[in-house]
Amino acid sequence: MATAFIPGISLGSNADKGSEPSFPGLIIREKEPVNFEFPFPMLSKAITANNQFFIRTHFPIPKLQAKEWKMTIGGHVNKEITLTYDELRALPAKKVMATLECAGNGRANLAPKVKGLLWEQGAVGNAEWTGVPLSVLLEKAGIKEGAVEIILEGADKGEVSEEPKSPGAIHFARSLPLNKAMQAEVLIAYQMNGKDLSPEHGFPVRAIIPGWYGMASVKWLTKIVAVDKPFEGYWQTLEYAYWKRTDDQPTLTAVTEVQVKAEIARPALSEVIPGGKKYRVHGAAWCGESDIVKVELSFDEGKTWKPAKLLGKNVKFAWRLWEYDWQVPKGQQRHKLMSRATDSNGNTQPMQHDKDRRTYMVNKIVTVEVESQ
């Protein structure tokens, strides 16, 4: 398994809390299509800078121009409408802070090795998004009685050649239940951290679906379609789907809500730290529709757990940074650190990955091994 440590980059000691490591750049998981990961040991602030935010694409990034871009809102509506970029930006804007996590984040921690991009820790980031609530646009079009889902379709398009293969070239598209689509925080966004979206992050316009895994936040958005029956597209049923058991009958169900999770940023895997001194263990924790209420650390392979300190204020749909002052034992030793989070619904990270989740929603507790000397 690859590690989150960046070869050739010194992480340094954080015994001096005033010092922050420099940012070494994103980790390449795939060059074409572009899939880059944030090196999680570099986490230092609640907001992830735009150039540090992970990049997830399935096909080549579409080349779109703001002046030519249009988005249609149609399907099971009273009146199909089309918006230009300027018309969308002229509508009253809303800002929402939200954490996005790729549904496959942590896949590299599964054994034996699984198919798909082997994300480690950093296919996740937290940003402030600016845009127009999707509910406002749906109300303009007028949703007809009987509508159950809203399909979001991007301009990115291509053919999936690996199993499960696609039936020719397809667009990336996902759907939301109508009640989620009408949630006030769900945005059709055009800015990220106060700057216009870059092509890698969905320029000119993307969806932001707080509380759900990143595949729901469709980029390069061009179509919004209301439908009166559940959407069964490729990315809804074959990929980004897991086995859900009803009366012990497993059926493929779309991945949706983010699972509760805490990750250790520092110390990083295989980091050498000073023995006999205090060390600031820190990281982030996040979940879906609920709130993070507790983060705990274990230094004895899960036998006992110690409470970490939650930092800042709770912001709905945004991750929570945390820290713990660890008195590192003296002498040269190997240490195994674990972190786990609990949300306001009482869900706590499991020790093992549920195989019914396939290679998605990986929130099992991970051991970080370090050395003191």
User: Which amino acid, residue 35?
Assistant: N
Report the pLDDT averaged over residues 222-238: 98
The Cα–Cα gap between 72 and 81 comes to 6
The CA distance from 192 to 204, in Å, is 11
Contacts with 243 (C-beta within 8 Å, 6 or more apart), sequence order: 250, 251, 252, 253, 356, 357, 358
Tell me the percentage of the chain whose pLDDT exceeds 70: 94
- Summary mean pLDDT of the chain: 94
What does the buried/exposed string (b/e) look like for 229-239 if buried means 16 or more CB atoms within 10 Å of the residue's CB? Answer: eebebbbbbeb
- Residue 37, pLDDT > 60, answer yes
Round the CA-based radius of gyration of the chain to a whole number and report it: 21
* Domains present along the chain, CATH in parentheses: 27-254 (3.90.420.10), 261-372 (2.60.40.650)
Residue carrying the six token digits 């015994």: 15
DSSP per-residue string spanning 238-296: TSSEEEEEETTEEEEEE--BPPPEEEEEESPTT-EE-TTSEEEEEEEEE-SSS-EEEEE
Report the percent of the chain where pLDDT is more than 90.
93
Please give the angle made by the CA atoms of 121, 123 and 125, to the nearest 5 degrees: 105
Instruction: Read off the pLDDT of each residue in 102-127 and give the average, rounded to a whole number.
Output: 97
- Cα 157–Cα 158–Cα 164 angle in degrees, nearest 5: 125
Which band of pLDDT confidence, cut at 50, 70 and 90, is reported for residue 20?
low
Instruction: Tell me the mean pLDDT in the region 168-193.
Output: 98
Assess whether pLDDT exceeds 80 at residue 32: yes
Q: Mean pLDDT check: name the lowest of 6-10, 95-99, 222-226.
A: 6-10
Strands 70-75, 221-227: pairing is parallel
For residue 94, pLDDT over 80 is answered with: yes
Alpha-carbon gap, residue 344 to 40, rounded angstroms: 25
Whether 18 has a pLDDT exceeding 50, the answer reads no
Residue 15 has pLDDT above 50, yes or no: no
The pTM (predicted TM-score) of the whole model is 0.93
Three-state DSSP class for residue 56: strand
Of 313, 293, 294, which is closest to residue 305 (Cα–Cα)?
Answer: 294
Does position 19 have pLDDT exceeding 70, yes or no? Answer: no
In sequence order, which residues have a C-beta less than 8 Å from that of residue 29 and are 6 or more positions away? Answer: 35, 36, 37, 117, 118, 119
Q: Would you say residue 23 has pLDDT above 70? A: yes
pLDDT in tens, 239-259: 999 999 988 899 999 999 999
Residue showing tokens 């996040």:
286
Segment 345-356 mean pLDDT: 97
- Average pLDDT, integer, range 323-347: 97
Which one has a higher pLDDT value, 15 or 342?
342
Q: For residue range 203-217, what is the model confidence (pLDDT) as tens digits? A: 999 999 999 999 999
Burial annotation 139-156 (CB, 10 A radius, 16+ → b, else e): eebebeeebebbbbbbbb
pLDDT at 73 over 50: yes
Quick one: pLDDT at residue 10?
35
Contacts by residues 5-11 (CB-CB < 8 Å, ≥ 24 positions apart): 5/41, 5/268, 5/269, 5/270, 5/271, 6/39, 6/41, 11/41, 11/266, 11/268, 11/271
Residue 261's φ and ψ, nearest 5 degrees, are -160, 140
50 CB-near residues (< 8 Å, 6+ apart) = 127, 192, 193, 195, 198, 201
11 pLDDT above the threshold of 80: no
Q: What is the pLDDT of residue 248?
A: 84
Is 70 exceeded by the pLDDT of residue 5? no
Token pair 């802070």 is found at: 97
- For the chain, the 3-state helix, strand and coil shares in percent, each to the nearest 5, are 10, 40, 50
- The average pLDDT across 104-124 equals 96
pLDDT at position 6 is 35
d(CA 286, CA 342): 9
Q: Given this model, what pLDDT does residue 8 score?
A: 30
Give the model's pLDDT for residue 24: 79
Cβ contact 264:364 at 8 Å: no
The answer, yes or no, to whether residue 49 has pLDDT greater than 70, is: yes
- Over range 61-90, report the average pLDDT: 98
